[in-house]
Amino acid sequence: MTWLERLKTMEQETTILKESHSIDDLSQLRLTKFTNQGLNLKDAKEVTKRLELRDIQKDDRILCYECNHLKGIASSWRCGNWRSAEVGIKESFSGLPNEIVNLLQRCNGFKKGYL
């Protein structure tokens, strides 16, 4: 099965999300999640590889892509927990530049999503 066929299957079969345990599956799930968030496939693969490396290195930093509070889509990201994350002083300043979303960081507002 090609990765594209697998991605299509995963999008249709939500039960796979609950049953995946291997690193291979995690990579595929991340790819699916990130493309669903609006990243193109090239960028989604890059983010997935960065997270794989982070996991191997046992780095405790996170990416906004993993956070339940990340809102919007690629290039118009917003933080839904801007106050705790200290992103701005009011909601209208909750926009997140791509540089921040793509930065491995420690964030007080982070809440882990399903991946």
Which parts of this chain interact with ligand SF4 (CB under 6 A)? Answer: 64, 67, 69-70, 79, 81, 85, 87, 107, 109-110
Q: Which is nearer to ligand SF4, 9 or 105 (CB)?
A: 105
Q: Give me the least distance between CB of 67 and ligand SF4, in Å please.
A: 3
d(CA 60, CA 74): 24
What phi and psi values does residue 93 have, to the nearest 5 degrees?
-105, 25
Q: Which is nearer to ligand SF4, 33 or 69 (CB)?
A: 69
Closest CA to 49 of 68, 70, 67, 63: 63
Q: Give me the least distance between CB of 53 and ligand SF4, in Å please.
A: 19
Contact in structure between 76 and 39 (CB atoms under 8 Å): no
Q: Give me the least distance between CB of 94 and ligand SF4, in Å please.
A: 8
Q: Which is nearer to ligand SF4, 16 or 62 (CB)?
A: 62
Strand positions, DSSP E, 1-115: 70-73, 76-79, 95-96
